[in-house]
Structure formats: structure tokens, C-alpha cells
Chain A
Amino acid sequence: RKEVEQDPGPFNVPEGATVAFNCTYSNSASQSFFWYRQDCRKEPKLLMSVYSSGNEDGRFTAQLNRASQYISLLIRDSKLSDSATYLCVVNNPMAGGYNKLIFGAGTRLAVHP
């Protein structure tokens, strides 16, 4: 089983649509959770961190359910510029101060006119 599993893509949606991505993680010791965005042939860029209380940044809302080890990302009023691959990322904390990121395979979003 993969450490971070995401919805298979691609998601093809019209402009203005609301789209939701889901992600599950297997390491119950994970403490930090993120959504990264990656454009084609570019580097991943942090979209938002995810907190237990849920957090919102404009059209983007992230939720975390620690009990179910489940993370979600909701995008409202989709724009053409939202087309990208969205990566669910969790940390893998280890004794001694190690902190590596574990990436999901990503979910591709294509927003069309």
C-alpha cells in the first residue's frame, strides 16, 4: 500500500465548477499536511498547509481528519489557471529530527472554457 494515496485523475471540469480532491495517508505519526501544486514540467509549489481545524484561502479549502487519516482539497469557482496537478503531501517525522516529505502521485485537474 502506498503511504499517500490520491484520487486518480484527470478531473475535467468547466470554468466555475467546484471540484474536490481526496487523499489518505497511512502513517498515523504524520504531523504536517500540505497540498502542493505542480504545473507541467515545473517544480512543486506549496498551495496550502492543512490544519486540523480546516483552513481556507480564497477559493481553496483544505480539511484534515486525523482519525480517518484523510485530507481533502476543495476548489470553488474553478479558473482556467487552476489547471495543474495537485499533490497531497504529508511529513514522515522520525526520531532525531528527521522530517521528510511523502508525496502522493498527484491528481490532474483540467479546467476548460
Chain B
Amino acid sequence: QKEVEQNSGPLSVPEGAIASLNCTYSDRGSQSFFWYRQYSGKSPELIMFIYSNGDKEDGRFTAQLNKASQYVSLLIRDSQPSDSATYLCAVSKAGTALIFGKGTTLSVSS
């Protein structure tokens, strides 16, 4: 079982819709959870991080964490064409580096 799993997509949504990106992880000792956005040919940029169960909102983005189900998600409200990118989920635990999933490609059509 891979440590961090994401559907590769592509996930296609119309402009203005909600995009829902999902990620599961295998290590129950994972403590920190991150979402990065990566445009083609560029380096990843941090969107959000979450440490505790529940929801965390930042503008149009909401991260959701459920440690019991080992599941973390990212919701993007009012999706824009500029949100079209690959979204990488990453997890870490004490003393280790971030472990990344392979990413989900999001396409927002205008």
C-alpha cells in the first residue's frame, strides 16, 4: 500500500463550481497534512496545512482532516480557470520529511 494516495485525475469542473480533491494515507502516526499546488513546469507552492481533525478554511479553500479514516481533502469553492493545476497532498510525522502523493490534476473550464 502506498503511503499517500491520490486519484491522478484529471478532475474536470466548470468555472464557479466546487472542486473536491481527496487523499488517503497509510501511516496512523502521521501528524501534519499539507496541500500544495503545482503549475506545469513550476515548483510546488503551499496552499494549506492542517494538523487537527475537522475543517480549516482559508478564502476559497477548505482543508478537511479525518484521522480515524486516514483521509484528508481539499475543497476549492468558486473554481477559476487559474486553479487549473496539479494538487499534491503531503503528510509528515515527527522527525521525518514530507511524503507526497502523485497528485491530482484539476482542470477548470470557463
Q: Bound pair: A and B?
A: no
